[in-house]
Amino acid sequence: MLRLRTFLQQHCDNAELIDVIDQLAVTCKDIAHQLTLGDLAGILGSAEQENVQGECQKKLDVIANDLLKDSLAALPAVRGIASEEEPDPVACNENGAYLVLFDPLDGSSNIDINVTVGTIFSILAAPEGSHGSDEAAYLQPGNQQVAAGYVLYGPSTIMMLTTGNGVYSFTLDTRMGEFLLMKENIQVPAATAEFAINMSNQRFWLPAMQQYVDDLLKGETGPLGKRYNMRWVAAMVAEIHRILTRGGIFLYPFDNRDPAKPGKLRLMYEANPMSMLMEQAGGRCSTASEAIMAIQPQGIHQRVSVVMGSAEEVSIVEQYHH
C-alpha cells in the first residue's frame, strides 16, 4: 500500500506543496494520538476562554491549533497561516509559497463525549509580494485553492485529500505511523435520500429552506416523492465523510437566531475546503443561491450558508430558493 508521501511524490510535481501536506499529516497524527489518550492526557474540557468568534474554546481546540501553527510555521514553504482559533493571520516564512488555513478541531462539542471530530485544511498560493500577516492575501475565492482536505478522527483516522485532480483517502496505520492510500477517485452518487441538518433551527431558516425540509419530511407522499433518512453527527467532517462515502446532503443554512451570526460555518476554512473535495468527487456545493467557491471573501472568519452533497439534491434545494 502506498504511503502518503510516496503518493504525493507521484501525483504532485511541487516539492513545497508536498512538504506542506506531509507536515499537516504529521501534525494530525499527533492530534489523533492526543485524542486517543483523551482524559489520560488531561485534554478534555473547556479552556475557559473564548475565540475571536465569541465561542468557548475547548482545551483541545487550543492544543490542536498550537500544534498546527507551530509545525507549519517551522516549514519554509509556509508564508502564513489563518485559523479558526487565531483572531488574525500569522506570518511564518517570508519566502514561503503557500498560505494554510485550517479549522484545527471541527465538531468541538463532540470532544468531551468521545465522538468523531476532525481537522479541516485549505491551501492557497501566497500572492507575490504579500506578507503572511496580511489578511488581504488570504481573501481568495475557493476556486483558487491549490489543495484541500480533512483528517477525521473516528474509530480510525482518515485523511481525505484533493490537489485538484480527484479525491483520495488515506487511513492512518497506527502500527507503523503512516497514512496509507486506501481509495482513489472517490465519487459521490448524484441522487440521495439521506439528509443532515440541525432540525432544531427550522423556525429560524428562510421560508424557502423551511418549505424544502417540510416537503422532504413528507417522504414518498410529498412533492419530492421519496422517503428520506436523517443523520446528524454535529461535526461537519463526519457529515461530509459520510456523504463522500455513500452520498447525501448536508445543510447548515443561514438562520436568524443571532443577527450577528447569520450562518454558523466559516467560508475559508470549513465551507471552501469541503466544497473543493465535494466538487472534485462530482458533488455540488451552494449557499442555496450561489456557488460557495465563487464567493469573493471579505474576511478570514466570514460565515456562509452551506448546502452540499449529491448533485441532484443540491439542485433541488436551489430550485426552492429561485
Ligand X SMILES: O=P(O)(O)OC[C@H]1O[C@](O)(COP(=O)(O)O)[C@@H](O)[C@@H]1O
- Choose from Mg ion, ligand X, none: what does 269 bind? Cβ within 5-8 Å by kind: none
Which residue is listed with cell 483528517?
Answer: 151
Annotated binding site for Mg(2+): 84, 103, 105-106, 270
C-alpha cell of residue 46: 473547556
84 scored as a contact of Mg ion (CB under 5 A)? yes
29: left (phi over 0), alpha (psi -120 to 50) or beta: alpha
Pick 75 or 238: Cβ nearer ligand X: 238
Binding-site annotation, residues for substrate? 106-109, 198, 264
Question: What DSSP designation does 221 have?
Answer: G
The answer to whether the beta carbons of residues 172 and 155 sit under 8 Å apart is no
Q: How far apart are CA 69 and CA 61, in angstroms?
A: 12
**Residue 104 and residue 121: Cα distance in Å, rounded?**
8
318 binds Mg ion (CB under 5 A): no
User: Phi and psi at residue 169, in whole multiples of 5°?
Assistant: -120, 145
Q: Which stretch binds ligand X (CB under 6 A): 63-71, 161-169, 182-190, 228-236?
A: 228-236
- Rounded Cα gap, residues 321 and 197, in angstroms: 17
Does residue 182 contact residue 170 with C-beta atoms inside 8 Å? Answer: yes
Nearer to ligand X, 115 or 139 (CB): 115
Told to check if 106 binds Mg ion by CB under 5 A, we report: yes
In whole angstroms, the minimum distance from the beta carbon of 151 to ligand X comes to 13
- Amino acid identity, residue 259? P
Contact partner, 264, from ligand X, Mg ion, none, Cβ < 5-8 Å per class? ligand X
Please pick, from the candidates 124, 235, 268, 285, the single residue that binds ligand X as defined by CB under 6 A.
235
Task: List the single partner that 62 binds among Mg ion, ligand X, none, CB under 5 to 8 Å by kind.
Answer: none
Among 103, 178, 279, 313, binds ligand X (CB under 6 A): 103
Helices (H), the chain: 4-11, 15-37, 59-73, 135-138, 207-217, 236-246, 272-280, 311-321
103 near Mg ion, judged by CB under 5 A: yes
Within positions 30 to 89, which residues make up the interface with ligand X, using CB under 6 A? Answer: 84
Q: Which of 198, 256, 315, 319 binds ligand X (CB under 6 A)?
A: 198
List of residues contacting ligand X (CB under 6 A): 84, 103, 106-109, 198, 234-236, 252, 264
List of residues contacting Mg ion (CB under 5 A): 84, 103, 105-106
